[in-house]
Amino acid sequence: MVETARNTRQRRAVGAILDDLDGFASAQEIHDILVRRGDKVGLSTVYRNLQYLVDAAEVDSLRGDDGEVLYRRCSAGHHHHLVCRDCGRTVEVEGPAVEKWADRVAAEHGFSDVAHTLEVFGTCSECGA
Amino acid sequence: MVETARNTRQRRAVGAILDDLDGFASAQEIHDILVRRGDKVGLSTVYRNLQYLVDAAEVDSLRGDDGEVLYRRCSAGHHHHLVCRDCGRTVEVEGPAVEKWADRVAAEHGFSDVAHTLEVFGTCSECGA
DNA sequence: TCTTTGATGAGAATCATTCCCATGAAGGTC
DNA sequence: GACCTTCATGGGAATGATTCTCATCAAAGA
Ligand SMILES: [Mn+2]
Ligand SMILES: [Mn+2]
Ligand SMILES: [Zn+2]
Ligand SMILES: [Zn+2]
């Protein structure tokens, strides 16, 4: 028998919230939504399941200004994010020119095993009214 | 009388450590160095002075993988960093193309007040041997 | 139904950072 | 130098997100 993650009520509940969300949200925000809905899920369990999903590359995470980790279900493949710092609404964006720039700069200075982090923050049109 | 920051022994000590450092270091690492040297400076004071320097744009800060904030005295003007994930050695880099890309992408989606974070991590030539 | 074992959750623990506030010491004035 | 005003310091408490512990629960298969 192949090991398989158990399909618990709590795991489904966390997944359902992520499906409904537009933008990034913190573990505690997701927990609050669950509590408000009446779904009883422990905070530890929310953290645990979010981490499972990150490890499975089903969810992207990034750190907000205040250091809180934010989560969002994203499409597969390398991309970056344009995030509204007020409402969290997020657009996935690609930047081939940026990828090339990062690799070139790293090579010029003799760096190998290169990776990069890039996020764009702003105020979305709705929040800017 | 114009308000002016007081030139304390502790402030000079923190500044001296930053002058000697090549790469990014955490507040606690800087505090440890001070203690090892025999300079008596409180941890709160290290945090406070680092924050003063960040506000004065004399020091750049970024968040490491583990969420710790790292500090480094940097040149003025907008730039990014190529950081060795082994030894911390850091190269300041500029990417005009990246700046334009970020602004354009944000504008295309109606975002205002745009800012971005971009760091490149790798293994430097010395550490890659 | 029964067994096995990963999953859950309430609270404790961790850890970086910030806050509090009594005390210290810059730096100006005479 | 003596004195004053006020910002700076530092030790410990508080904060807050996240992780850990472990007794208990419940998937999933037999
Ligand atoms: Mn990229
Ligand atoms: Mn830039
Ligand atoms: Zn918004
Ligand atoms: Zn290195």
pLDDT tens string B22-53: 999 999 999 999 999 999 999 999 999 999 99
Mutation target vs B (from A54, A65, A101, A111; most B CBs, 10 A cutoff) = A111
Tokens standing for residue B111: 């975002």
Sheet containing B59-63: which strands, arranged edge to edge?
Answer: B25-26, B69-73, B59-63
Mean pLDDT, all residues of chain A:
94
Who wins on pLDDT, B56 or B3?
B56
Q: What confidence score (pLDDT) does residue A3 get?
A: 61
Q: What confidence score (pLDDT) does residue A2 get?
A: 55
Q: Where in chain A is CATH 3.30.1490.190?
A: 77-129
- pTM score, two decimals? 0.92
Domain B1-74 CATH assignment equals 3.30.420.40: no
Q: Decide if A96 touches B, using CB distance below 8 A.
A: no
Residues of A in contact with B63 (CB under 8 A): 63, 67
Q: Is the dihedral of CA B122, A116, B64, B45 positive or negative?
A: positive
Protein residue at shortest CA distance from C1' of D26: A8
Residues of A in contact with B102 (CB under 8 A): 120
Q: Decide if B97 touches A, using CB distance below 8 A.
A: yes
Residues of A in contact with B115 (CB under 8 A): 120-122
Q: Residues A92, A81: contact at Cβ < 8 Å?
A: yes
A104 CA – C18 C1', rounded, Å: 40
For each of chain A's 129 residues, which pLDDT tens digit applies? 556 789 999 999 999 999 999 999 999 999 999 999 999 999 999 999 999 999 999 999 999 989 999 999 999 999 999 999 888 899 999 999 999 999 999 999 999 999 999 999 999 999 998
Distance from the first to the final alpha carbon of chain A: 56
Please state which architecture CATH assigns to domain B77-129: 2-Layer Sandwich (3.30)
CB contact under 8 Å between A119 and B117, yes or no, is: yes
